[in-house]
Structure 1
Amino acid sequence: MSEGNYIEPKPGDLIEISRLGYQHWAIYVGSGYVIHMAPSDDLGQASASSLMSVVSEKAVVKKELLWSITGDDVCRVNNKYDRKYRPLPASQIVQEAESLLGKELRYSVASENCEHFVTRLRYGTARSDQVRDTLVAGTVGLVGVGVVAALATVISSLLLPSKREEK
């Protein structure tokens, strides 16, 4: 876990692992272990830090030591929906997570990613702010590009002499 505001994880806690450009999510199950979605073995043992969504439509549920999947990445307890949803009992979260070990699940960055997986375990409902935030950022980016293009057209029309003036 990151050293800043260290919070000792408890079974059932959501663990957010900051990767380059996205977050990987796991559920803490105790004794230093987490359960998470990882790329299927048929991807040549790709690490969990790879952008699984780019290369796979399937993931396998694995139990691993937290430190073995974080590497040098920063991680923290982030039970971010506790105010909106009531967490299920920790024993139920851990039992459900362990019942899924070794299972291959459908993976979709938009609807069935690692954040959806852990929030469904903790709250009984699947949520992913990463998807929403990416869609919003993409929309804002497209709008921004459109505005810049429109401004460039207006500015160039004001600064460049018109064809009538050239004659």
Structure 2
Amino acid sequence: MAPTKNDEKPQPGDLIEIFRSGYQHWAIYVGNGFVVHLAPPTEHANAGACSMISVTCDRATVKKEEIWNVVGSDKYSINNLLDENYEPRPIREILREAESLVGNKLPYCVFRGNCEHFVTELRYGKPESRQVRKAMEIGVGVGVAAIVGFGVLALAATLFGSKDKEKQTK
């Protein structure tokens, strides 16, 4: 079993971040060794790159499973990432809603409705995904770098092209 970062014991309502290969899966701890999570068909412990296929899924199932069955041999940590931004909802409400959703099939979209959106909405009433935000920032950064790179190349070509023309006219 993989330990948490600090070997902390999760409390009901805590968000659990599970470090898979290339992405993080998220669950919410509901007590007695169980978590509730939004799982597309390809999401399971030790799924590795195969779980990346979840980007093609449009539905996912809300599951209640033992934490160690979800974590597998991956590392995890308690990560109530938005506590500084939002007041967590009352624990009773979080747990009641999480339990009421178990077994439901929900719309799934890696960009607008993934497992991280699911658990942050349960805890804070706000569906947010830091992973999506980071991916978008990286994508925008790469796009800007490409535009800047093309601009520099175009400028260099213009400058060197002008110098070549000057040499030809002398």
TM range (shorter): 0.7 to 0.9
Measured in 1, the distance between the counterparts of 2:39 and 2:168 equals: 64
CA distance in 1, matches of 2:4, 2:87: 28
**Aligned equivalents of 1:132 and 1:19: distance in 2?**
18
Distance 2:26 2:32 in 1: 18
Q: Which residue of 2 aligns with 1:8?
A: 9
The TM-score normalised by the length of structure 2 is 0.83
Matched position secondary structure for 1:162: helix
- 2:83 is paired with a residue whose SS is coil
Report 1:90-105 matches (<5 A): 90-105=91-106
Gap change, CA 1:106 and 1:52, over 3 Å in 2 = farther
Aligned position for 2:128: 127
2:152 paired residue number: 151
> How many corresponding residue pairs?
162
CA 1:20/1:163 → structure 2, altered by over 3 Å: closer, same or farther? farther
Unaligned runs of 5+ in 1: 41-45
For 1:20 and 1:52, locate their aligned partners in 2 and report how far apart those are by CA, in whole Å.
13
In structure 1, the partner of 2:86 is 85
Q: Please, what TM-score do these two structures have when normalized by structure 1? A: 0.85
1:59-82 C-alpha deviation (Å, 9 max, x unpaired) = 000111112122222210000111
Could you tell me whether the CA contact under 8 Å between 2:5 and 2:76 is conserved in 1? no
CA RMSD of aligned residues (A): 2.1
Structure 1 CA distance for aligned equivalents of residues 102 and 78 of structure 2: 22
Residue pairs, 1:19-38, within 5 angstroms:
19-38=20-39
Identity %: 44
Q: 1:153 Cα deviation (Å)? A: 3.6
Alpha-carbon shift at residue 164 of structure 1 (Å): 6.1
Query: Structure 2: how far apart are the matches of 1:108 and 1:125?
Result: 16
Structure 2: which 5+ residue stretches go unaligned?
A: none
Preserved CA contact (<8 Å) 2:39 2:61? yes
CA 1:137 to 1:3, structure 2 compared with 1: closer, same or farther past 3 Å? Answer: same
